[in-house]
């Protein structure tokens, strides 16, 4: 049979080229016009430890990494041990033998192809080309476009010279020859694309960087932290080309302080971090709210608390994102669903920050950060860009003037007649410190009053399905893509289910939640955190009483997990 999608998992020791091999297959499939969705996981150590790359390729639209693999390519015994329980009848095992460090006991019904990856690489005097041998074997066995793979390999190693390129192509060809000598017993193959498309393969982190550049980013302050560092690396390559500035700060406190300072100076400014860094930024986020200074902070969530799981997936920073500051400090919180979303929602984050003069937190996660997906080639001119309200030079300048929409005009330092103070102290309309009860009440009402229009200003949350439903599933972040597929599977089985996919999480669009809940018999909120954080806010701010389904093992949900949970609830 030829499936609409094929899922290949490559697993082994970190440093063996697991991730590189997966990236090359992904690029080759994308060049051939296929939709791709990847998931990768690797240890926090610099080298060594278990690494895994899972690729899903299809001629149809993909929304997630899939349930499990059709094909496991095991580079070593640990990879086999960690995945062999998923080798069900009909699945495929490609493994390193003879010459590897293990000989598996092949489960009944599993198609197995021993390929001497290590031995072949050594015979070719290219021991690091083990992954190229595996790549060739997978290409031959599952009809992954050979020409596209050769192009990708040549491009990958071009800067190292022709000798290295040829050595890797030789190992790739040898892998194909070894696989061709096998008797193929399975029927899996990558489905050929219906047509070539104008697409690009990007990771979530790179897409956020691109979105920031499209939005008009002027200043980026970076402090390295997994899994957000790739955003800074992307911006560092491209921001200077357009006259922008990137600085590596000494820590996260300095990073957010520089961002607030650059924004005060009239620049669109941003930083990116993960949970531990966001914790350190909480005081300056309060300062940004008090001084009404626009800024964007990306939080690429990882497993916590404390240092936690630095390279693993979680969605557990929502409490921190919404309430991470002393006092009553407001902000806008958005959560991205996909790589495509990472571009568009980053632009929206800047637009909201500039319009409402508040900090905007954009939540991504470890799975989406490193995931690569096929997306339409971005057109920067298709995105609307919003600029902050500026003083027109008329009359006395009041930085914090009470206005009808609660938004006061800004003026860059040095603007004639617009001298003012931006302070963390409570202040009057001119910016002068003022601690009277009446003034504090009025200024807090002003600052929070701005946020009342955000819900109507932001696109309404998507509803997946019509009419009444036995059960509605509310999903946020990258879990949305998983729920999309689960809802479709359940509907195909005749189940009456709907999905609701909010991307604005603060201020919570409570009315939209209420309206959706009114059409569903029961509600379920799946979240990759222990406490059910969005469910907590929904219960607190609406009359709804959704049921929580939480996991926090460092891996995202799969569609099958959601399907099983819904069936259990509806039984």
Q: At what angle do helices 204-215 and 229-238 cross, to 10 degrees?
A: 40
Q: Which of 489, 491, 506, 505 is nearest to 64 (CA)?
A: 489
- Residue 540 DSSP one-character state: H
Window from 47-56, 175-184, 305-314, 438-447 with minimum mean pLDDT? 47-56
Separation of first and last alpha carbons in the chain:
33
Distance CA 419, CA 417 (A): 6
376-426 pLDDT, tens digit per residue, is 999 999 999 999 999 999 999 999 999 999 999 999 999 999 999 889 999
- At residue 454, what are phi and psi to the nearest 5 degrees? -65, -40
Distance CA 476, CA 479 (A): 6
Mean pLDDT on 85-113: 92
Identify the bridge partners of residue 69 per DSSP, sorted by sequence position.
Answer: none
Q: Which of 12-21, 180-189, 367-376, 513-522 has the highest mean pLDDT?
A: 513-522
DSSP string computed for 475-519: --TTHHHHHHHHHHHHHHTT--EEEEE--EEES--HHHHHHHHTT
Identify the bridge partners of residue 374 per DSSP, sorted by sequence position.
Answer: 201
Mean pLDDT on 507-532: 98
Within 10 Å of residue 531's Cβ, how many Cβ atoms? 14
Distance CA 318, CA 324 (A): 9
Three-state DSSP state, 463: strand
312-325 pLDDT, tens digit per residue, is 999 999 999 999 99
- The reported pLDDT for the residue numbered 198 is 77
Q: Which of 215, 211, 220, 210 is nearest to 244 (CA)?
A: 220
Q: How confident is the model at residue 193 (pLDDT cuts 50, 70, 90)?
A: low
Q: Which residue has the tokens 């600085």?
A: 247
Does residue 519 carry a pLDDT above 90?
Answer: yes
Percent pLDDT > 90 in the chain is 88
* Whether the Cβ atoms of residue 246 and residue 240 lie closer than 8 Å to each other: yes
Distance CA 357, CA 450 (A): 9
Window from 63-77, 137-151, 190-204, 549-563 with minimum mean pLDDT? 190-204
- The reported pLDDT for the residue numbered 79 is 93
Q: What are the chain's domains?
A: 5-180 (3.40.920.10), 201-382 (3.40.50.970), 389-458 (no CATH), 462-570 (3.40.50.920)
DSSP string computed for 103-155: ---PPTT-EEEEE-HHHHHHHTT-GGGHHHHHHHHHHHHHT--HHHHHHHHHH
Mean pLDDT on 4-32: 90
Window from 188-197, 248-257, 359-368, 402-411 with minimum mean pLDDT? 188-197
Mean pLDDT on 451-455: 96
Does residue 2 carry a pLDDT above 60?
Answer: no
Tokens of 254: 């300095």
Alpha carbon separation from 519 to 352, 463, 465, 510, 525 (Å, rounded): 31, 11, 11, 15, 16
* Whether the Cβ atoms of residue 547 and residue 569 lie closer than 8 Å to each other: yes
Does residue 280 carry a pLDDT above 80?
Answer: yes
Q: How confident is the model at residue 191 (pLDDT cuts 50, 70, 90)?
A: confident
Q: Where do the H-state alpha helices sit in 373-462?
A: 437-451, 454-457
DSSP string computed for 333-369: EEE--SHHHHHHHHHHHHHHHHHHTSEEEEEEEHHHH
Q: What is the CA radius of gyration of the chain?
A: 26
Does residue 14 carry a pLDDT above 80?
Answer: yes
- How wide is the angle at C-alpha 255 spanned by C-alphas 252 and 258, nearest 5°? 150
Within 10 Å of residue 178's Cβ, how many Cβ atoms? 19
The continuous run of DSSP H or E covering 221 comes out as: strand 219-222
- The reported pLDDT for the residue numbered 40 is 87
- The reported pLDDT for the residue numbered 45 is 63
Q: How confident is the model at residue 46 (pLDDT cuts 50, 70, 90)?
A: low
Distance CA 98, CA 10 (A): 18
Mean pLDDT on 184-213: 88
- The reported pLDDT for the residue numbered 127 is 85
- At residue 465, what are phi and psi to the nearest 5 degrees? 125, 160
294 exposed, middle or buried (CB, 10 Å; 0-12, 13-18, 19+)? buried
Question: How far is Cα of residue 155 from the mean position of the Cα atoms in its chain?
Answer: 26
Report CA torsion sign: 280, 283, 286, 287. negative
3-state secondary structure 257-324: HHHHHHHHCCCCEEEEECHHHHHHCHHHHHHHHHCCCCEEEEEEECECCCCCECCCCCCCCHHHHHHC
- The reported pLDDT for the residue numbered 1 is 39
Does residue 211 carry a pLDDT above 70?
Answer: yes
Distance CA 384, CA 496 (A): 37
């Amino acid at each position: 049979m030829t499936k609409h999608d094929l899922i290949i998992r490559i697993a082994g020791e970190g440093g063996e080229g697991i991730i590189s091999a997966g990236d090359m297959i992904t690029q080759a499939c994308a060049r051939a016009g296929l939709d791709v969705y990847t998931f990768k996981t690797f240890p926090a150590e610099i080298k060594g430890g278990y690494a895994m790359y899972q690729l899903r390729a299809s001629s149809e639209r993909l929304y997630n990494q899939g349930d499990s693999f059709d094909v496991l390519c095991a580079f070593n015994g640990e990879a086999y041990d960690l995945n062999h329980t998923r080798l069900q009848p009909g699945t495929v095992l490609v493994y390193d033998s003879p010459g590897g460090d293990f000989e598996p006991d092949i489960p009944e019904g599993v198609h197995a192809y021993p390929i001497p990856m290590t031995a072949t690489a050594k015979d070719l005097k290219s021991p690091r080309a083990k992954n190229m041998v595996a790549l060739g074997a997978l290409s031959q066995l599952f009809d992954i476009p050979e020409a596209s793979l050769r192009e990708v390999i040549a491009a990958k190693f071009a800067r190292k010279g022709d000798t290295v390129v040829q050595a890797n192509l030789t190992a790739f060809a040898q892998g194909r020859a070894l696989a061709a000598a096998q008797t193929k017993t399975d029927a899996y193959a990558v489905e050929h694309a219906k047509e070539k498309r104008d697409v690009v393969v990007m990771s979530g982190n790179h897409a956020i960087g691109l979105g920031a550049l499209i939005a008009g980013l002027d200043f980026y302050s970076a402090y390295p932290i997994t899994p957000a560092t790739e955003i800074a690396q992307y911006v560092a390559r491209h921001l200077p080309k357009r006259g922008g500035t990137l600085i590596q700060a000494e820590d996260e406190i300095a990073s957010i302080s520089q961002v607030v300072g650059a924004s005060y100076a009239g620049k669109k400014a941003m930083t990116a971090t993960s949970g531990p860094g966001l914790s350190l930024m909480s005081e300056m986020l309060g300062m940004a709210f008090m001084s009404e200074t626009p800024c964007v902070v990306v939080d690429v969530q990882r497993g916590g608390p404390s240092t936690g799981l630095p390279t693993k997936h979680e969605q557990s920073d929502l409490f921190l994102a919404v309430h991470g500051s002393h006092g009553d400090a407001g902000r806008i919180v958005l959560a991205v669903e996909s790589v495509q979303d990472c571009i568009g929602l980053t632009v929206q984050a800047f637009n909201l920050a500039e319009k409402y003069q508040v900090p905007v937190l954009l939540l991504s996660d470890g799975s989406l950060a490193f995931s690569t997906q096929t997306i339409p080639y971005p057109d920067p001119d298709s995105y609307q860009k919003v600029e902050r309200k500026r003083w027109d030079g008329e009359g006395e300048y009041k930085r914090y003037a009470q206005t009808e929409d609660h938004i006061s005009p800004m003026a860059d330092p040095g603007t004639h007649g617009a001298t003012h103070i931006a302070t963390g102290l409570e202040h009057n309309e001119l910016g002068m410190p003022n601690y009277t009860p009446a003034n504090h009440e009025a200024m807090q009402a002003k600052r929070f009053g701005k946020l009342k229009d955000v819900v109507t200003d932001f696109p309404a949350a998507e509803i997946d399905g019509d009419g009444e439903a036995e059960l509605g599933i509310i999903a946020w972040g990258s879990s949305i893509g998983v729920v999309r597929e689960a809802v479709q599977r359940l509907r195909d089985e005749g189940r009456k289910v709907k999905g609701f996919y909010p991307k604005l999480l603060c201020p919570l669009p409570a009315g939209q939640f209420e309206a959706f809940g009114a059409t569903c018999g029961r509600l379920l909120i799946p979240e990759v955190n222990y406490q059910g954080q969005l469910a907590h806010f929904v219960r607190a701010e609406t009359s709804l009483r959704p049921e929580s389904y939480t996991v926090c093992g460092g891996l995202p949900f799969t569609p099958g997990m959601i399907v099983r949970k819904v069936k259990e609830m509806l039984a």
